[in-house]
Amino acid sequence: MPAPPEPDVAREWLATMTLIRRFEERAGEMYARAKIGGFLHLSIGEEATIVGSARALRDSDYLVSTYRSHGHALVRGTPPENVMAELFGRVDGCSGGRGGSMHMFDLSRRFMGGYGIVGGNLPIAAGIALAGDYRGTDDVTLCTFGDGASNQGTFGETLNLAALWRLPVVFIVTNNQFGMGTALRRHSAVTDLQRKGESLGVPGMRCDGMDVLDTYRVVCEAVQRVREKRRPLLIEAVTYRFRGHSMADPEQYRSKDEVARWRERDPIPAFGELLISEGIIDEAEREQIDEQARARVDAAVAFAEASPFPEPESLYDNVYVLDREVQGWYSIETADDRGRRPEAAAAEGAPGVAVPAAANDEIPQQLTHALTVGEDASEPTEGAG
């Protein structure tokens, strides 16, 4: 086993893994109490893969996740209060309460989101890496996805283009042994997932995803190679999720004995024991780290409960992007307006049409603002009639 990092770094890794575990456990409880809607995918058991891979990145690098994304948001530094508020669908959530469990996002920390579509994040990660090339930076994009996504068409298409265009992206497949409820050997003809990219020009590596040190070591090597050589790599992180695919999963496809065997390799107690044996922490400090994580999660739940729901009037906000670089207009047509050109309608001050940028420098940034513009335009001018 590799030697642990510097004491302060080691403590932070253990604290972050513990925070993710306690957060996910509480999220499951809140889902059972109907505080969280939709689907909920927990990463309990995969904390070493999350922390070990993310800590191999610079702050300027990009991280792209899947629908199992709470831990990735937390490891990138998104406050647990904002992550929990997002799960609750509240305005203080990291996506404004609109994304929920599968669509966490934090641009300020270059966490480029969770994605509900299996494999849908792969081409997006390639696009982010391509943007970095256009800008002339040495930033690397780390794209995580599950073993089931390696069978999607986007996998082959994206890896092919990434190799062809020499994009600085590290693809890491989180092999937790199941694509939803289907075992790896039943859904993939190639079970050695690190080799799935070889025919596409993307060489592979493997790490023990239950060991934060081994994950960190392998991902560090991959990130360095990608950053310097500008060629993509694929990593297979062999891990296991202790809970079902989602909260709706009855887990009839695996035995309790199998789960118990994997739990013997729980990455959090294992790393804690290592730090104790190395004299970095003692048992009292490990308990303190756990207590602090529980307290932070308690605070996150209280914060989420106190945060309001988005106003109904804001339903269509963030659907369109209009600014000085994206010219256009919002059209909220009535029956009388249909069939008229938006340019002419705007020039005539027709109700419900926001004036394009050429005629008005104040472009409405949200649809609710555009509606206000339309209402103002519909009011009769002084002396009219």
Whole-number pLDDT of residue 361? 54
**Averaged pLDDT for residues 165-186:** 92
Whole-number pLDDT of residue 333? 46
Of the candidate ranges 135-139, 173-177, 327-331, the one whose mean pLDDT is the lowest: 327-331
**Averaged pLDDT for residues 181-208:** 93
Residues constituting the chain: 385
**Averaged pLDDT for residues 153-165:** 97
- Three-state secondary structure along 172-191? EEEECCEECCEEHHHHCCCC
Average pLDDT for the chain:
88
Contacts of 122 (CB under 8 A, 6+ apart): 143, 145, 149, 152, 154, 155, 157, 158, 159, 171
pLDDT tens readout for residues 208-241: 999 999 999 999 999 999 999 999 999 999 999 9
Residue 61 has pLDDT above 50, yes or no: yes
Residue 189 has pLDDT above 50, yes or no: yes
Residues of the chain with pLDDT > 90, as a percent, come to 71
pLDDT tens readout for residues 328-373: 555 554 444 444 445 544 555 544 444 444 444 555 666 666 666 5
Of the candidate ranges 51-65, 128-142, 223-237, 313-327, the one whose mean pLDDT is the lowest: 313-327
Residues of the chain with pLDDT > 70, as a percent, come to 83
**Averaged pLDDT for residues 279-285:** 97
Residue 75 has pLDDT above 80, yes or no: yes
